[in-house]
Amino acid sequence: MTRSICMQVLPGAWLALVVLLAWGAPGIAAERCDAVPAQYAALANPEPPLEKRRLRYWRKQFKAKCARCHGAAGDGGGEEAGRQAAPPVAFTDAAFMDNCTDGQLFYQIAFGGEDKSAMPAFGPESDQGWSEQKVWQMVAFIRRFAE
């Protein structure tokens, strides 16, 4: 008797959870991208598409600088992801990526996250000191995860 109730209730509960997660993730992402100042949001990526022969370089950069939080596959599953108050999103999630313009992604990588976020800044004025060109190219690289 108990067993048959479980069998009936559980699939419904799982389905509800999956639906909730699927709806929630793009919501969070849209909020974060919406918070980016409009003058950045409107910027288009000025860099030409990434050259195939340079992909190895970008994979290495991502692995060295981003993967511990964002996951080596860009799925948000890095070993430090669980420790974050506001977890990183999955770049593999097309619904999320479609909610963000290149300019919004650029801003978040160049200037980092809000006050309590662990998301570091990588732009020219940060400790990492990447050129704007390098940040734009990283934007192009993370877009590949959802393709």
Q: Are 138 and 58 a contacting pair, CB within 8 Å?
A: yes
Give the 3-state secondary structure of 56-104.
Answer: HHHHHHHHHHCHHHHCCCCCCCCCCHHHCCCCCCCCCCHHHHHCCCHHH
- Residue of the chain from 92, 93, 142, 145 that contacts ligand HEC (CB under 6 A): 142
Long-range Cβ contact pairs of 15-19 (< 8 A, separation 24 or more): none
Q: Does 31 bind ligand HEC (CB under 6 A)?
A: no
Q: Does 118 bind ligand HEC (CB under 6 A)?
A: yes
Site string for ligand HEC, 45-84 (x = CB under 6 A): --------------------xx-xxx---------x---x
Stretch that binds ligand HEC, among 2-10, 19-27, 42-50, 102-110 (CB under 6 A): 102-110
Residues forming contacts to ligand HEC in the complex (CB under 6 A) are 29, 32, 65-66, 68-70, 80, 84, 86, 88-89, 105, 108-109, 113-114, 117-120, 122, 138, 142
